[in-house]
Amino acid sequence: DAMVIQNPRYQVTQFGKPVTLSCSQTLNHNVMYWYQQKSSQAPKLLFHYYDKDFNNEADTPDNFQSRRPNTSFCFLDIRSPGLGDAAMYLCATSREKYQETQYFGPGTRLLVL
């Protein structure tokens, strides 16, 4: 089945220790998104790629970076995680940018000690 896959499902890191989360998709969608979701809150868009074109949301901290080496894979790098970065990180894809459904992966739950 075509899908969005995220690894790892759970990640524990130490305060200030860089961490990388990965997302892959078999849907061959052009757009990939990264969201941060905290408990009982709506997902918050961090950035997205349209093909190789990277778009950062204005309020995304500089601590967060992303890479998309090819159509199928996208990575979220958190350079120096703080306690406030503990959250669920969701990857999503859509075929095109506008008027399209977004399909989500299962998420990576990040814990910062």
> In this complex, which beta carbon is closest to other proteins, that of residue 79 or of residue 104?
104
Would you say 22 and 75 are in contact if contact means Cβ atoms under 8 Å apart? yes
The binding track of 23-52 with respect to other proteins, each residue x by CB under 8 A or -, is: --------x--------xxxx-x--x-x--
Candidates 11-19, 63-71, 78-86, 101-109; binding stretch for other proteins (CB under 8 A) = 101-109
What DSSP character marks residue 42? -
Please name the residues in contact with 73: beta carbons below 8 A apart, sequence gap of 6 or more. 22, 23, 24
Q: Per CB under 8 A, does 6 bind other proteins?
A: yes
> In this complex, which beta carbon is closest to other proteins, that of residue 9 or of residue 16?
9
Strands 87-94 and 103-104: antiparallel
